[in-house]
Amino acid sequence: MKRGVNMKKITVTILMFLISALVVAGCGNSSTNSGKEAGESSGKTTKISFIHWRGEDVKVFDGLIAEFEKANPTIKVEMNVFPSEQYLANAQAKLLDGASGDVFASFPGAQFGSISKAELYAELSDADFAANYSPNLLAAGQKDGKQLAFPYQLVYNQPIYNKTIFEKLNLTPPNDWEQFLQLCETLKKNGYIPIAFPGADIGPGQFINSMMMNNNTDEDIWAKVESGQAKLTDEWFVRTLSQFKELNDKEYFQKDSLGTSKDIAGSLFAQEKAAMLATGSYMMSGMKQQNPNIELGLLAPITVAADQAVYEGIHTTTFMLGVNALSKHKDAAIKFLAFLSEKQNAEKYANGTGQLVTVKDVSYKTPELQHSATWMDKKTRFQPRYLIANAANEKAVTTSVQAVIAGKTAEEAAKNAQALIDQNIKK
Amino acid sequence: MKHSKTLYLFVLPGLFMYLLFFVYPTLNGLVLSFTDWEGISSHWNWVGFDNYKRMLFNDDIFQTALTNNLKFMLVVVIFQTSISLIFAILLLKNSKSNVFFRALYFFPTIISSISVAFIWAFVFNPNVGVLNLLLGKAGLEALAQNWLGDPKLAIYSIAFVKVWAHAGQMMVIFVAGLQSIPEELYEAVYLDGATNWQAFKNVTWPMIAPAATIVVAYTTIQSFKAFDLIFAMTGGGPIYSTEILSTYIYHTAFQGSEFGYAAAQSMGFMVIIALITMGQFKLLKGRSS
């Protein structure tokens, strides 16, 4: 009898557990807040979520958020940072959920394409604060004539160089490929690593931009490669890989560059063992922190004769701020975005983080930012790598750079990369 | 009869968890593998067996990843099993020094894989790493290598780290197996004039077959799923030389935004692991019986 009673209790407990679990699971997606901007309309605090990948900017954003919350006491901003390598995976889940990522950052190119295709950007074409931005720097966040996101940062994806070393050796940024090779040779002869190249991670993807910018000036070249109208075995790409190989074979990169990560390459440069760092302007402030005495400049290898060069460098408008179309607090999210877009706040962000911004008339305080800002007047090209729509194709391209450094011929590396692209076209 | 029915109810919570967290996601993955879902939008198309056809006949990287996986698995299984067995034999007796060394060799097991990966990535670094530095100091510069940057070497460097991190764990299983062998068996073979090698071959090895089965099966599955170590040390590079199936699935889904195709790869991955594990069990079971 006692066993029967216990059994009944156990059965009921298990059934209750199962039923409650099913109820919880069933309710998961349907419990929506039907009252739009309920918090705001009732005077209660509205909490918005801001997600991005720049851990190094947290301190500056904390200050800006505090100012925003002071000016808007009914809105609280919760910031979440995910490392850039995992950002795509995390951001997708968060955005789909709709409960977080009211304001979110995204990368231009493939990620912008995926998110806009999924209709997760709220349209911001009519936003008043759009006028605060340089109109020529907004294209990366536009689709079908609609402004879906505002690129906040302006980055130059081309080598940084040590001005002091250049001045000491009487060197100037080169105007053609021969001059670039001579420059590297002089640096090498004087005991410097000419180019610190992080071949293990970001190096190939960064340096290929400036290495190819004048070898093929067609803005649609990657679209053509991805549709099969152009091939990586074409002369321009094989030449680009040959030039990479030349730099490697002449030992202008540090030894074992394929085993060198971004941080280690950065250290070689900050310690003034290397004269150039093949990454981009986004690393200038970090280098300055590591070595406050270092004087920095930007240059790009011109891989053709001076009279054939069309572009002087590479730029990217990135850290694209958008509002989640599924957000329940769109008005508050737009208010926060408008706040970040104000000149004085963009200025605080720029000078606090050492990054150029796309907001107009910002005054830059540091010599590095002032130097980088001079590049706004030069003829630069939007980062071509970001125009490769398919991530597997992008990897095939950057891997071909590693392949020539590992010893393959340019023709062989180009052929292997093209074979992978052919498979992706056929899929 | 009533009693046994009652017992079944105790299984229900576990069964529910298993269904919810294993069977449901697996079936969901199976369904997804027949779609072209890119991971964000709520729309997708059914593509039939296209993802599977692509995986089998039109994806060189998948074949490369599988080859890398098999290479990695073979090296790790052979070295991890033999090294852990040697350590177990050497440290079998429960003396104070042996207990200390067992704890020492077991220690890497308790460090998280990501920490292990970062530590060894630093050790292997060709510019500032301690390994090449020590080789240089010892006058062995010729042995200094680009451990993680050389496409021919990188997968073996990571396999070494895997063995370093888990040999101690496997050693404990072997120690337990060895300590369960009756002393009389050794007395008998030594009375018959057996050498140490003959004693090992005819007594130790057959008697630790169940432990060896566990070690080999566990090591195989773990080496096939060595995602964290590879992801943190090389990310699958250089030139796909350390790309294994688990990292490739991750790249396909989260970098390539091809969740449908990644689901098909996961199904393929599951079948491959199941086949290899079944083969091993059959082989080792036959030997142990």
Residues B12-24: what's their mean pLDDT?
93
**Distance, in angstroms, between B162 CA and closest chain A CA?**
19
- Report the side by side order of strands in the sheet with A160-162: A193-196, A274-277, A160-162, A296-298
pLDDT for the residue B40? 77
pLDDT for the residue B244? 96
Give the total number of structural domains in chain B: 1
Q: What is the ipTM of this complex?
A: 0.84
- Phi–psi pair at A172, nearest 5 degrees: -130, 155
Instruction: Map out the domains of chain A with their CATH numbers.
Output: 44-154+317-374 (3.40.190.10), 160-299+390-426 (3.40.190.10)
Give the number of other Cβ atoms within 10 Å of residue A378's Cβ: 13
Residues B21-43: what's their mean pLDDT?
90
pLDDT for the residue A232? 97
Instruction: Give tens-digit pLDDT for A57-90.
Output: 999 999 999 999 999 999 999 999 987 666 777 7
Looking at the domain assignment, is residue B224 inside a domain? yes
Instruction: Give tens-digit pLDDT for B185-221.
Output: 999 999 999 999 999 999 998 999 889 988 998 898 8
Looking at the domain assignment, is residue B153 inside a domain? yes
Instruction: Provide residues of B within 8 Å CB-CB of chain A.
Output: 6, 9-10, 12-13, 16, 20, 38-42, 50, 54, 58-61, 121, 124-128, 146-151, 234-235, 237-240, 251-257, 261
Question: What residues of chain A, 287 to 346, have a C-beta less than 8 Å from chain B?
Answer: none
- Asked if A21 has any chain B CB less than 8 Å from its own CB, the reply is yes
pLDDT for the residue A99? 76
Looking at the domain assignment, is residue B17 inside a domain? no
pLDDT level of residue A22 (50, 70, 90 thresholds):
very low
pLDDT level of residue A91 (50, 70, 90 thresholds):
confident
User: Can you give the residue range of the structural domain that contains B215?
Assistant: 51-288
Is the predicted pLDDT of residue A33 greater than 60, yes or no? no
Looking at the domain assignment, is residue B33 inside a domain? no
Q: Average pLDDT, whole number, for chain A?
A: 89
Q: Are strands A75-81 and A103-106 parallel, antiparallel or unpaired?
A: unpaired
pLDDT for the residue A69? 97
pLDDT for the residue A295? 94
Rg (CA), chain B: 23
Looking at the domain assignment, is residue B35 inside a domain? no
Is the predicted pLDDT of residue B42 greater than 90, yes or no? no
Reference A125, options A415, A263, A323; nearest CA is A323
- Phi–psi pair at A406, nearest 5 degrees: -80, -10
**Distance, in angstroms, between B17 CA and closest chain A CA?**
10
Where residue B182 sits, what CATH number does that domain have? 1.10.3720.10
**Distance, in angstroms, between A361 CA and closest chain B CA?**
36
Looking at the domain assignment, is residue B91 inside a domain? yes
- Asked if A93 has any chain B CB less than 8 Å from its own CB, the reply is no
Is A259 in contact with B257 (Cβ distance < 8 A)?
A: no
Q: Which two tokens stand for residue B200?
A: 């090992």
pTM over 0.90: no
Looking at the domain assignment, is residue B8 inside a domain? no
pLDDT level of residue A21 (50, 70, 90 thresholds):
very low
pLDDT for the residue A186? 98
Residues A127-135: what's their mean pLDDT?
95
pLDDT for the residue A4? 44
Looking at the domain assignment, is residue B34 inside a domain? no
Is B40 in contact with A18 (Cβ distance < 8 A)?
A: no
